[in-house]
Amino acid sequence: MSTITTISIAFLLSFVILVGKRVFYNATITHQPTPLAVPRLFCPTTLLNFNGADGKPVYIAVCGHVFDVTPCKHFYGSGGPYENFAGRDASRGLALQSFDKEVLTQDLKGPLDNLADINATQLANLESWEEYFSGKYTVVGWLVAEDH
Ligand code: HEM
């Protein structure tokens, strides 16, 4: 191999390494870590703000967990089939398979619904919904009573 060929190959290799490093370096420093969702406490009145109105996220509470259901705004946002649950504790509605307004907590400043009166079938319903939501959505916090 002639000297000129060797020098050319060495030059080409240095160039490739330099460009490669720059690409790798840029890729490394421009990568922004995904922000962590820090779980927080919601009371029924604060949860109500997350009903999807005005482009805000949609959260619903199931068994004390607050889930971010924004990815399925077509279900829970305004005009969706499950909009009644947006920004609310959906536990009783899911347990009873009901959309009635009466199954939603009426007094948002009172104690949480402890579901003490639901039967075994309703409880099983609720448990399977809880499992479904846990597998699909991010938990963003916990539901607590106003005067916790
Ligand atoms: C007329 C009866 C009903 C029909 C035909 C129906 C239909 C559906 C359909 C097609 C889906 C979407 C499934 C998917 O694409 O993953 C769905 C999801 C769902 N349904 Fe119903 N549904 C009915 C009643 C109910 C009732 C009574 C409840 C509770 C009160 C309920 C709560 C839900 C929930 C929470 C989801 C999950 C949405 C999600 O993935 O976040 N549905 N339903």
The parent domain of residue 1 ranges over: 1-30
Query: Is residue 139 in contact with ligand 1, taking CB distance under 6 Å?
Result: no
Do 54 and 20 share a structural domain?
Answer: no
Looking at the chain, the whole-number percentage of residues with pLDDT higher than 90 is 72
Report in angstroms the alpha-carbon separations of 21 from 13, 15, 27: 12, 10, 10
* pLDDT one-digit tens code per residue, 67-96: 999 999 999 999 999 999 999 999 999 999
Helix (H, G, I), strand (E, B) or coil at 94: helix
Q: What confidence score (pLDDT) does residue 33 get?
A: 58
Shared domain for 26 and 52, answered yes or no, is no
Residue 58 clears pLDDT 80, i.e. is over it? yes
Minimal-distance CA residue to ligand 1 atom 31? 97
User: Among all chains, which residue has been given the structure tokens 């829970």?
Assistant: 76
Pick from 58, 62, 72, 75 the residue to mutate for probing ligand 1's pocket: most ligand atoms within 8 Å of its CB: 75
For 28, 38, 92, 115, the CA distances from 35, given in Å and listed in that order, are 17, 9, 32, 35
Q: How many domains does the chain have?
A: 2
For residue range 7-57, list pLDDT tens digits in order: 566 555 555 554 455 555 455 545 555 556 677 999 999 999 999 999 999
